[in-house]
Structure 1
Amino acid sequence: MTTGFVMLCHTALDRAAQVARYWAQQGCPVVIHVDARVKKRAMRKMRQDLADLRRMVKFSPRYRCEWGGWNLVAATQDAASLLLREFPKAGHVFLISGACLPLRPAADLVAYLRDRPDVDFIESVTTEEVGWTIGGLDIERFQLYFPFSWRRNRKLFDRMVRLQRRLHLRRRIPAGLVPHLGSQWWCLSRATLTAILESPDRAMHDRYFRQVWIPDESYFQTLARRYATRIESRSLTLFKFDYQGRPHIFYDDHLPLLRRSDCFVARKIWAHADELYAAFLSPEARQRAKAEPNPGRIDRLFTAATERRVRGRPGLYMQSRFPVDNFENGKTAAPYSVLQGFADVMPDFPDWLARMTGARVHGHLFAPDKVQFAGGETIFQGGLSDSPRLRDYDAKSFLTSLIWNTRGERQCFQLGPNDNQGLNSFMAADLNAHISIVTGAWALGLYHSGLPFDDIRREAARLQRVEMALLELLQVHWLKAQVRVWTLADFLDNPVEALQTVVEDIAPRLRPRVVEIPPMVDLHGFGRFLQELRNQGMQPMVMGDYPASDNFHPDARYSRPHLVTRRDV
């Protein structure tokens, strides 16, 4: 006994002929169907290329086939009937396409099937259990009428489906049939295929399946359940589909992957994959060890590829993949720290933090006059400019590019009420954002500014409104950033503990111990300054309970963080 092949071709006939020759020379008969849309010249050339194999290679009547159309089933029926009639020693019939490629010697396949003479290898699953249908039609593909092509007349197709649903029209499924779905690439035993093709009910079955949507995925899959003795619901052909239902195409660089699968046949092979055809159709390919087909060994790679294609890499924004807002695979590529108010209290804070944590500590990246990169750089990694005009053209892309370009190095930057506030909502919704704030610290700059007090009062009121809006934003229910907030009074009451919290958050593995803090600005008279603001009609609300005497207790055991939260939604 041997195995016969039915090959459906519509393109790359030279490759199809090459594969047909491979099977025929190893004693496996092949019946080829060529789509009627293929030009006669290409068809004649294929016949001439295989003329020396007339005894093993036959051509079946040609049909004009369309994706998901009945003629695909009709062409398979005629080709299979011809094979059964012309080659009585064919114990199994294997359906392949012109884009299929054998991955193992024919002898392996023939021996494998000879040991399982009554087994049919066909993916056949009920509509309730199938999980890969695309288009929203499961049992309805067997119950509705489909007079219009899904590809050529999509609008008419959809309107017809909606109309039948509205009118509750339902076709009657023939008695004795339980609809099943599965891959069209099957391998059926001679007995089962003969029973399907010579069934006294075949005319009724054909009439019914002519109106089923995508019958090549249900005709043999349903009838095999009626006539088969034993079914293994799997295909011996390796094929993979993406999340849109389109087949993955195998290229030359997939050679190790295909070998690892131990499958007998793979589709869909790129017609110009010369290395694949040379590797698997060469005589050396016939010396491979026998093994059970195991496509599951490579499923993990396809799952990862689908994940990469659908979701992209975390925090990567690029021209070919610019995600929709709130559907990104992570808003940024790595954790980063936003620090507000610390440098107002301790001018040397950025340099001190860099020494303590080893992180890259920038100044105010969103300052109105200039992007303050660490070290005074004018051009930073990834070609980012210190121009505020270029930054503000797309501030989100500026930040995401900064984090992407510096993966592996923690980025920290200062933020203040005077800076561009356009990214506050973006950072609040970012899991990678670590926001630490000393509220009211901006008032220290006003205190030492030397401006007229009326100007200071108006500016203080404006800056307080900006900061209070940020604090309100950081309490929304959809907050995902990690947030820590101290009032200025709380921070000054015990700065060591607050700074220890910040450095441990930035460098959790190092866990540096804060034993010395940077010098603070002169606070003498700042309490009276705040009281004078109150006297002039401006109420300071974000500084906390700041004493008028400027008398703090640095040895106090605990500071009182205003807010320490991480809210995930």
Structure 2
Amino acid sequence: MTVGFVMMVHDALHRAEQVARHFATNGCPVVIHCDKRTPRAEFDGLKRGLADLENVKFCKRHACDWGTWSLVQASQTGSEMMLTSFPEVRHVYLASGSCLPLRPIESLRAYLADRPMTNFIESVTIEDVHWTVGGLDEERFTFRFPFSWKKYRKSFDTYVRFQRRFGCTRKLPKGIVPHLGSQWWCLTRQTLSAILEDPDRAEIDRYFSKVWIPDESYYQTLVRQFATNIESRSLTLSKFDFQGKPHIFYDDHLQLLRRSDCFMARKIWPEANRLYDAFLKPKDEFTRAEPNPGKIDRIFAKAVERRTQGRDGLYMQSRLPADGIDKGKTCAPYSIFEGFSDIFEDFDVWLARAVDARVHGHLYAPDGAEFAGGQTIFTGALSNSPKLRDYNPCAFLTSLIWNTRGERQVFQFGPRDTQGISWLVATDPNAQITVISGAWAVPLFQSNANFSEIRREAARLQKIEAEHLDILRSPYRKARVRIWTLADFIESPMEPLQTVIDEIGTRGGRRLAEAPKMRDLTGFGQFLQNLKNQGMHPHLMGDFPTGDQQESQQRPRKRPYLVK
């Protein structure tokens, strides 16, 4: 007694010939069904290539379409020939032309000999199915599907909507309980012959001919009627991605396939020469290990996760149009300082000496990105061109962080800059944002412009910063945000500076021993009062003292800048 293979092929016939010869020379009969649409010349070449093997036969050809009854017809025709032509066959194994045996045939024969009455077919009720992707569950059995989903998609969808709207359902044949499962099975002669010789087969076939994807439900349902010993699993390793498309195995999957201990795998890439050479060569020894595709399930789960969610901060072309499905907006922590360069002289130079990070100027300055060291082209071929940067300001930042992973990036930001990244950074857990609100007024205070121009510019900048702060305070915020008013910050600047810089990491791990030089703010309080007198309300600076009160409070605050 042995196992016979029914092979359904349609392309890459040279590989099908190679696998069929492997089966036949190892004592297993083979019946081949070749798609009727396969060119006659290719089919004749396949027949000539296997003509020397008496235990290889070719059955009647059907024109097969995905998800249609023609696939079941092809398997029925091949199975009937197998049962009639080879009476010594005890198990019939359904395989495709892209299947490849992973273990010696003798191993499979011994495995089935130990289980002479066991049917291996995945067969679960529709209530238990959780792996159908983008398809139908109960409706595939209660509706009619006369149109090919792949060839006549519009007609298919229109007819489904029509049946849903008017409640056009049909009854299942008596005693039929729908089941679903993989179409690659291994059934005993007794069970398969009972299915094919059922007196009610004509009625059952008529019903299943209008079921959607009947090759996943015909044998899976009927085996429950005629078999008593069923193992609801396939002996063929077949993995599918998140879209329901089969994974294709290539040469670099060799060790992965060996680890599965499965008897067969599909789909194998026709050009995977290394796989065919490795698995089809004669083997003296074989293992009796139980097939265990679960060993590699974790790898496939990781592959699906990587394909659908990608890596933190990496935006691939295949996922870029679908906003929000990536795992993380950026790949690494970074820091933004807002207002510090307005109240401290050469703040970026001082900060670069203090922290273990790459410190840039205003990356979103109107005249162009101020990269560290005055570079015009930065890592990853990022240009300082404002036109290129502002075409997609968010992608500019995420590219900068991705291209410099392993090194923390720090840059300045303010209301004079391009504001396109506000929502990105506010909702990014990797962002550390430190704001001195109202600091933008200091450069205006020190400018020589006409006061009417200063007032208009101050009103514009305050409006921009107010909107930006509203975003940073949004309930959707995920960034680590600290906001001080200008008045609160200059009252004790070293304490907040030390807190923020400790999070970034100081060079050598020491506390700050040097403070940045603050700009002269003498008369700044009166400047704000003048803005109020001109009809503007500068409210983002906090309660800033005016006149003599400011000067008397500023003098004793010059010493705390040095911390020993």
Considering the TM-score relative to the shorter chain, is it more than 0.5? yes
SS at match of 2:518: coil
TM-superposition CA deviations, 1:457-494 (whole Å, max 9, x none): 22222221211111122222322322110111111122
Q: Equivalents in 2 of 1:532, 1:271: separation in Å?
A: 80
2:32 pairs with 1:25: no
Q: CA deviation at 1:88?
A: 2.2
In structure 1, what residue type is equivalent to 2:305?
A: E
What is the distance in 2 between the residues matched to 1:74 and 1:387?
64
In the TM superposition, what are the counterparts of 1:130-149 in structure 2 within 5 Å?
Answer: 130-149=129-148
Q: Distance in 2 between matches of 1:164 and 1:464?
A: 60
Give the counterpart letter for 1:239 in structure 2.
S
Report the CA distance between 1:173 and its aligned residue: 0.5
- Separation in structure 1 between the aligned mates of residue 78 and residue 12 of structure 2, nearest angstrom: 19
What is the CA–CA distance in structure 2 between the aligned matches of 1:73 and 1:166, rounded to whole Å?
Answer: 30
1:39 aligns with 2:33: no
TM-score normalised to structure 1 length:
0.93
1:471 corresponds in structure 2 to 469
Note the 1:56-205 alignment, pairs <5 A. 56-205=55-204
Given the superposition, is the C-alpha separation of residues 145 and 345 from structure 1 closer, same or farther in structure 2, using an over 3 Å criterion?
Answer: same
Contact (CA 8 Å) 1:317, 1:323: kept in 2 or not?
A: no
Give the alignment of 1:387-398 within 5 angstroms.
387-398=385-396
Contact in 1 for aligned 2:356/2:504 (Cα 8 Å): no
1:215 correspondence with 2:214: yes
Partners of 1:204 and 1:452 lie apart in 2 by 94
Secondary structure at 1:116 match in 2: coil
Alignment partner of 1:247 is 2:256: no
Question: Does the CA-based 8 Å contact 1:495-1:554 persist in structure 2?
Answer: no
Question: 2:345 aligns to what SS in structure 1?
Answer: coil
**1:11 aligns to what?**
11
CA contact (8 A) 1:252 1:273 kept: yes
**1:104/1:263 contact within 8 Å kept:** yes
Q: Distance in 1 between matches of 2:508 and 2:242?
A: 42
8 Å CA contact retained: 2:118, 2:230 = yes
1:281 maps to: 280
TM-score, normalised relative to structure 2: 0.94
Aligned to 1:520: 518
Distance 1:290 1:493 in 2: 78
Distance 2:191 2:326 in 1: 49
2:490 to 472, 489, 492: 492
How many percent identity over aligned positions?
Answer: 59
Q: Which moved more, 1:428-437 or 1:263-272?
A: 428-437
Question: 2-side partners of 1:445 and 1:141: how far apart?
Answer: 70
Mapping of 1:117-516 within 5 angstroms? 117-284=116-283, 286-507=284-505, 513-516=511-514
2:211 is paired with a residue whose SS is: coil
Distance 1:299 1:6 in 2: 27
Structure 1: which amino acid aligns with 2:208?
F
* TM-aligned CA deviation for residue 5 of structure 1: 0.8
Which residue identity is paired with 1:127? Answer: I
Amino acid at match of 1:467: E
**What SS does structure 2 have at the residue aligned with 1:4?**
strand
Counterpart Cα distance in 2 of 1:112 and 1:67? 32
State the alpha-carbon separation in 1 of the partners of residues 387 and 212 from structure 2: 56
Paired residues of 1:356 and 1:512 also in contact (CA < 8 A): no
Structure 2 CA distance for aligned equivalents of residues 325 and 9 of structure 1: 41
Distance 2:16 2:198 in 1: 31
Provide Cα deviations, 1:16-65, integer angstroms capped at 9, x if missing partner: 111011011111111111111122222222111111211x2111111111
Moved more, 63-72 or 343-352: 343-352
2:50 is aligned to: 50
Q: 1:508 to 1:72 in 2, by over 3 A?
A: farther
What amino acid is the match of 2:410? Answer: C
- Between the aligned partners of 2:203 and 2:558, the Cα distance in structure 1 is 93
Q: Which amino acid aligns with 1:146?
A: F
Q: Distance in 2 between matches of 1:357 and 1:323?
A: 37
CA spacing shift, 1:325–1:533, aligned 2, 3 Å: same
What secondary structure does 2:192 align onto?
helix
Q: Secondary structure at the match of 1:138?
A: coil
CA distance in 1, matches of 2:70, 2:211: 12
**Aligned equivalent of 1:567:** none
- Tell me the number of residue pairs that the alignment of Structure 1 and Structure 2 aligns: 555
Structure 1 residue 360, shift from structure 2 partner: 0.8
Q: Give the secondary structure class of the aligned counterpart of 1:283.
A: coil
Cα distance 1:457–1:291, how it changes in 2: closer, same or farther (>3 A)?
Answer: same
Task: Report if the CA contact (8 A) 1:26-1:106 is conserved.
Answer: yes
Aligned amino acid, residue 107 of structure 1:
E
Question: What is the Cα deviation at residue 74 of structure 1?
Answer: 1.5
Instruction: Give 1:99 shift.
Output: 0.6
Flag the 1:328–1:508 CA change in 2: closer, same or farther, 3 A: farther
Shift of 1:309: 2.0
Alpha-carbon contact 1:433-1:482 (below 8 Å) kept: yes
CA–CA distance in structure 2, aligned partners of residues 356 and 231 of structure 1: 70
Once the 2 structures are TM-superposed, how far is the Cα of residue 265 of structure 1 from its aligned partner? Answer: 0.3
Unmatched runs of 5 consecutive residues or more in structure 1? 558-569
Equivalent-residue separation in structure 2 for 1:270 and 1:304 (angstroms): 21
Q: Distance in 2 between matches of 1:321 and 1:11?
A: 32
* Residues in 2 aligned to 1:233 and 1:136: alpha-carbon distance in whole angstroms: 21
Q: 1:509 to 1:3 in 2, by over 3 A?
A: farther
| 1:342 CA displacement | 1.2
**1:377-416 Cα shifts (integer Å, max 9, x gaps):** 1111111122222222322222221111111111111011
Paired with 1:381 and 1:189, the residues of 2 have a C-alpha distance of 63
CA distance in structure 2 between the aligned counterparts of 1:352 and 1:237, rounded to whole angstroms: 65
**SS at 1:437 equivalent:** strand
Q: Within 1, Cα distance between the matches of 2:285 and 2:13?
A: 27
Counterpart for residue 562 of structure 1: none
- Give the Cα separation in 2 of the matches to 1:128 and 1:508: 59
| Distance change (3 Å), C-alpha of 1:366 and 1:13 | same
Look up the equivalent residue of 1:279 and give its one-letter code.
A
Instruction: Describe the SS at the equivalent of 2:342.
Output: helix
C-alpha deviations, 1:112-168, integer Å up to 9, x for none?
111111211111111111112234411111111112111111111111111111111
Residues 31 and 58 of structure 1 are in contact (CA less than 8 Å); yes or no, is this contact kept in structure 2? yes
Whichever residue aligns with residue 47 of structure 2, its letter is R
User: Cα deviation per residue 1:322-344 (whole Å; 9 max; x = unaligned)?
Assistant: 23233333222222212101122
SS of residue in 2 equivalent to 1:486: strand
What's the RMSD between the two structures over aligned residues? 2.1
Range that drifts further, 243-252 or 82-91: 82-91
* Structure 1 Cα separation of the partners of residues 332 and 30 of structure 2: 56
**In structure 2, C-alpha distance between the alignment counterparts of 1:441 and 1:22, rounded to whole Å:** 79
* Cα deviations by residue, 1:389-445 (Å, 9 ceiling, x for unpaired): 222232222222111111111111101111111222232233322221001111221
Greater shift in the superposed pair: 545-554 or 275-284: 545-554
Is 358-367 or 414-423 further displaced after alignment? Answer: 414-423
- Summarize the Cα distance change of 1:232–1:554 in structure 2 as closer, same or farther, 3 Å threshold: farther
Q: CA deviation at 1:314?
A: 2.3
Aligned to 1:53, the other structure's residue is in SS state coil
- SS at 2:52 equivalent: helix
- Matched residue of 1:435: which SS? strand
CA distance in 2, matches of 1:533, 1:160: 71
Whole-Å Cα distance in 2 between the matches of residues 381 and 449 of structure 1? 35
